[in-house]
Each structure stands twice: as structure tokens, then as C-alpha cells.
């Protein structure tokens, strides 16, 4: 059956090209500027062809999200080697913020755009659980018909686990710190999941404000991250008290914005779009 396999490979290849083009558009012009026509233009196919690989624009967006989750988690994994939980957690925090700064449109897409996109990363396996279904109806047709015919495509399926995994990494580090008695009292006295969620929210706040508010960090970003991590983890209590664990508390030496700009150009704001037909 070599012929069928070749056809499958070709189909996969086109699928990847579509996703590549879509990613480039999102990165350059923002998610709002992503349209089927633009993707089709970019890969020099007709718009109709896209629908043989993805059920809808939303479907493509979800695939991009899955990639984003994987990318974020991939930046976390090597940091798990850090033995000291406090250092590990700080590295994770800095990596998280750096990811958001370096990939603004990707970060926007997966964490700031649409509840159904953001929710796809968290299976809800962590913590207590929720009431009030807030997800809503935005396209309940996650995968219908085509686009899932081929089994082993990259980052298509279990994107739910990725977000949970990232959160779990933080929970673990926090737990180690707690059992070692190295957390400030108010932080130590809550449930692990709550701790992790709250810390996550703090980091997300920094990134989100940075990406949305032009005049936000009047302070250098890593200063902000440093003081936030210190507030949560407490200053190191092994001797030499008072000082912060972060080197750049007043760090005027470092560049104001972490890596100046790495992958994505600065967020290109509006460019709105309309809703679809039937």
C-alpha cells in the first residue's frame, strides 16, 4: 500500500504548509488578521482547498494553540533539572514571562484570546473543579469529518494535557518548597493548587499587561518578575537576610525589555473581522 501512504504524506505536508502559513500570519499581524483567504494566498492554493484539511478557521486556530502549548511546555522541561526548587521555580517564572515577551502573538492566542482556546489547554484535572459552565458555544465542532483522518499529526490531539503538565511542574516545585519550610507563612498555608494558580496568575498579569498596555512596565520587566517571585517565594532565609534573591532589583544594567525582540515583531493591534455565515 505504498501509494496510499504517499498520498497520506502529501496530505500531511499540505496540512503543515497551511499551519505554517497561518502561524506566520498570526505572528506577524495578530490573530485577528488570520483569514482563510490570506492563508490560501500565502500558500498559493484556493481557499476551498483549506477546507479539505481543516473544518474551519477555528479549527486552524485550535491547531495553532496546540502548537503554542507544546512550545511553552518545551521551554519548561529542561528547567525541571534544576535541583533547588526555589531556583527551579524562579527559572520557570522567568521562562514563562520570557516566552510571552518573545512570542507575543502566540501568547495572546493561547492565553488572552478566546476562552475556548485557552480552555483547551487545561483539562481541569488540577484542583477542585468548577461550577458555572463559562465556556460557551464558540464552535462546538472541534473535529468533525476531515482533518482527523490521518492519525499521527503533530500537536493535534491531547493538547489538554500540556497546560496541566505545565501547571503541575509549578505545583511540584511549590510543594517541595513548602515541605522544606521555605515558603512565607501566608503562602504556605493554602492548598497547593491554589498556590500554583495564584502564582501563575501573577506571572500572567505581568505578561498580559506588558502585551496590552503600552506604558505599563515603567520598570524593567525582569525587575518586576524578580520582585513578584520574591514576594511569593520569600527572600532566602539562609543567613544574609533581607536581600532579594534576584540580582536585578534595581538592575539598570540589563536591557529594559528582556531580549529586545526575538521571534515575533511587536504586537500589531486591531484589524478586526466579522462573524461567519451559517
Residues 6 or more apart whose CB falls under 8 angstroms from that of 57 comprise 34, 35, 36, 276
Nearer to DNA, 56 or 75 (CB): 56
- Which letter does DSSP use for residue 109 in this model? I
Q: Of residues 6, 46, 78, 143, which one binds DNA by CB under 7 A?
A: 46
- Give yes or no for a contact between 141 and 133, defined as CB atoms under 8 angstroms apart: no
- Residue 216 touching DNA (CB under 7 A): no
Binding residues among 57-76 for DNA as defined by CB under 7 A: 57-58
Judged by CB under 7 A, the residue of 6, 9, 28, 47 near DNA is 47
| Closer CB to DNA, 129 or 277, in the complex | 277
The residue (of 83 and 128) whose beta carbon lies closer to a copy of itself is 128
With CA atoms as reference, report the closest residue to 154 among 38, 3, 16, 262: 16
Nearer to DNA, 56 or 118 (CB): 56
Distances (CA, A) of 211 to 126, 127, 164, 238: 27, 28, 24, 36
> Nine-digit cell at 125?
484535572
Q: Are 82 and 88 in contact (CB under 8 A)?
A: yes
List the interface residues with DNA, window 3-42 (CB under 7 A).
7, 10-11, 14, 33-38
- Per partner kind, with CB cut-offs from 5 to 8 A, the member of DNA, a copy of itself, none near residue 48 is DNA
Give the C-alpha separation, 129 to 192, whole Å.
Answer: 14
Q: From the list 24, 42, 52, 208, which residue makes contact with DNA (rule: CB under 7 A)?
A: 52
List contacts with DNA (CB under 7 A).
Answer: 7, 10-11, 14, 33-38, 44-49, 51-52, 56-58, 273-278
Amino acid at each position: 500500500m505504498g501509494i496510499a501512504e504517499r498520498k497520506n504524506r502529501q496530505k500531511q505536508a499540505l496540512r503543515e504548509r497551511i499551519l505554517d502559513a497561518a502561524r506566520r500570519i498570526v505572528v506577524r499581524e495578530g490573530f485577528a488578521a488570520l483569514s482563510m483567504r490570506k492563508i490560501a494566498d500565502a500558500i498559493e492554493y484556493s481557499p476551498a482547498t483549506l477546507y479539505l484539511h481543516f473544518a474551519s478557521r477555528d479549527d486552524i486556530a485550535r491547531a495553532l494553540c496546540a502548537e503554542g502549548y507544546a512550545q511553552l511546555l518545551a521551554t519548561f522541561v529542561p528547567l525541571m533539572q534544576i535541583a533547588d526548587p526555589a531556583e527551579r521555580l524562579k527559572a520557570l517564572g522567568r521562562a514563562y514571562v520570557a516566552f510571552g515577551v518573545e512570542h507575543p502573538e502566540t501568547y495572546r492566542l493561547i492565553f488572552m484570546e478566546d476562552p475556548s482556546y485557552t480552555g483547551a489547554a487545561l483539562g481541569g484535572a488540577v484542583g477542585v473543579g468548577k461550577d458555572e459552565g463559562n465556556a460557551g458555544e464558540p464552535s462546538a465542532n472541534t473535529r468533525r469529518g476531515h482533518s482527523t483522518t490521518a492519525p499521527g499529526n503533530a500537536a493535534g490531539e491531547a493538547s489538554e494535557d500540556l497546560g496541566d503538565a505545565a501547571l503541575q511542574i509549578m505545583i511540584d516545585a511549590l510543594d517541595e518548597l513548602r515541605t522544606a519550610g521555605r515558603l512565607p507563612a501566608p503562602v504556605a498555608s493554602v492548598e497547593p493548587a491554589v498556590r500554583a494558580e495564584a502564582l501563575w496568575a501573577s506571572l500572567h498579569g505581568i505578561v498580559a499587561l506588558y502585551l496590552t498596555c503600552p506604558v505599563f512596565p515603567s520598570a524593567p520587566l525582569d525587575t518586576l518578575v524578580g520582585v513578584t517571585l520574591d514576594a511569593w517565594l520569600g527572600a532566602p532565609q539562609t543567613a544574609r537576610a533581607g536581600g532579594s534573591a534576584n540580582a536585578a532589583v534595581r538592575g539598570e544594567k540589563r536591557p529594559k525589555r528582556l531580549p529586545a525582540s526575538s521571534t515575533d515583531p511587536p504586537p500589531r493591534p486591531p484589524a478586526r473581522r466579522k462573524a461567519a455565515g451559517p
